[in-house]
Amino acid sequence: MPDMPDKPISPAATTPRGNAPEPSAARVDITERPARAAGSGAAFLALILYLVLIVGCVATFARVATDAFDEGEPAAVALAVGASVVLVLTLLLMLASLVIVVPGQTSVRQFFGRYVGTVRRPGLALVPPLTTGTKVSIKVHNFETSELKVNDLDGNPVTIAAIVVWQVADTARAVFAVEAYEEFIRAQAESALRHVATVHPYDEPGPGETSLRGGTDVVSAELAAEVAARVALAGLEIVEVRISSLAYAPEIAQAMLQRQQAGAVIAAREQIVEGAVTMVDQALRRLEEGDIVAMDDERRAQMVSNLLVVLCSDQRTQPVVNTGSLYA
């Protein structure tokens, strides 16, 4: 009897790669389009007409019902009341087709679950009856990401945060392509911030590299491009992204501060030594060119040593006056 495999074979493993469906970049393939809606003038006339019809219908049927009641015809009364109720409800339903769109907002219209367009023109609008609307703000929004702790290119833990300025560009994608576009952009912004922080060193970049501290504009532009690519699925537009907080993590901040201080001290020392050597060289040249004093190599070395000590010392040196012979 042949041996049976220990692990079950999944259906995906037996499916040929050529028949496998390719993943789609956008699960909901929909884009914004303008809805069929009349302007403020037509909507205002429709509003007046609906109100006049409602009042006229109520008054007419009330009179008909009163006359029928006086004549002793209860069936006619019930018919008049029922007809008046149906007509008034119909007119109220037609009245619901009037929507108000304030500046900075849009109304995404649906007809029994089908997207029929977006109303962007502010003011009173007359839309097709039986459509429902979802208000979507197209104002410019901004938020600051939480302070993230990541490792930079050199493996040093740093804390970083950014401010993202964005707005809705495609209302249809914002409503139908993602579950909640405000939460979506926050998650994608933090994910992009983590990725960008890991591909740059905090400071001291190598050849062709950009540091997080020294290349803030370049890093911000790279971060804005990555966030825009991630949220294009939701119809969102990135206006600007800026680094708002950047520092070493607390556990290495003191050590990195000491390293920076040591680097500054070394750089200052190099400059002091370079200046001292230049001054000593100039002093020796002046003494030799003016034939002021003749010194052998030993006395020359002693003079250079004394001058370097005086010029490079941290503390103030005390002069010593020699009243005897230099060769004593």
d(CA 276, CA 310): 9
- What pLDDT does 8 receive? 43
Nearest-Å Rg of the Cα atoms of the chain is 41
Long-range contacts formed by 116-122: CB under 8 A, 24+ apart:
116/35, 116/36, 117/33, 117/34, 117/35, 117/36, 117/37, 118/32, 118/33, 118/34, 118/35, 118/171, 118/172, 119/34, 119/35, 119/37, 120/34, 121/37, 121/39
- What pLDDT does 177 receive? 92
The token pair that represents 254 in the structure block: 């003191």
The token pair that represents 186 in the structure block: 């926050």
d(CA 89, CA 81): 12
**Those residues with Cβ within 8 angstroms of residue 27's Cβ, 6 or more apart along the chain or in another chain:** 177
| Packed helices 297-312 and 250-289: angle between N→C axes, nearest 10 degrees | 140
* Locus of tokens 């069929």: 36
d(CA 82, CA 75): 11
Q: What is the DSSP letter of 38?
A: B
Long-range contacts formed by 207-213: CB under 8 A, 24+ apart:
209/153, 212/152, 212/158, 212/160, 212/243, 212/246, 213/246
Pairing label, strands 236-248, 157-168: antiparallel
Structure-derived torsion over alpha carbons of residues 154, 156, 161, 162, reported in degrees to the nearest 10 = -10
d(CA 176, CA 115): 9
- What pLDDT does 56 receive? 74
- The overall pTM is greater than 0.85: no
d(CA 318, CA 261): 29
- What pLDDT does 316 receive? 67
- What pLDDT does 298 receive? 74
Inter-CA distances, 257 with 249, 263, 265, 309, Å: 11, 10, 12, 29
What's the one-letter identity of residue 297? D
Neighbours of 297 (CB within 10 A): 7
Per-residue tens of pLDDT for the chain, all 328 residues? 444 444 444 434 433 444 444 445 446 788 999 988 877 777 777 777 777 777 777 777 777 667 666 666 666 666 666 766 777 677 677 777 888 899 999 999 999 989 999 999 998 888 888 888 999 999 999 999 999 999 988 888 899 999 999 999 999 999 999 999 999 999 999 999 999 999 999 887 777 788 888 888 999 999 999 999 999 999 999 999 999 999 888 776 566 666 666 667 777 777 877 887 888 888 777 777 766 766 767 777 777 777 777 777 766 666 665 555 555 5
Buried (b) or exposed (e) across 92-112, using 16+ Cβ within 10 A?
Answer: eebeebbbebeeebbbbbbee
The token pair that represents 134 in the structure block: 């979802």
Q: Taken in order 119, 123, 129, 131, is the CA torsion positive or negative?
A: positive
Neighbours of 34 (CB within 10 A): 10
What's the one-letter identity of residue 176? F
DSSP codes, 143-211: EE---EEEE-TTS-EEEEEEEEEEEES-HHHHHHTSS-HHHHHHHHHHHHHHHHHHTS-SSS--TT---
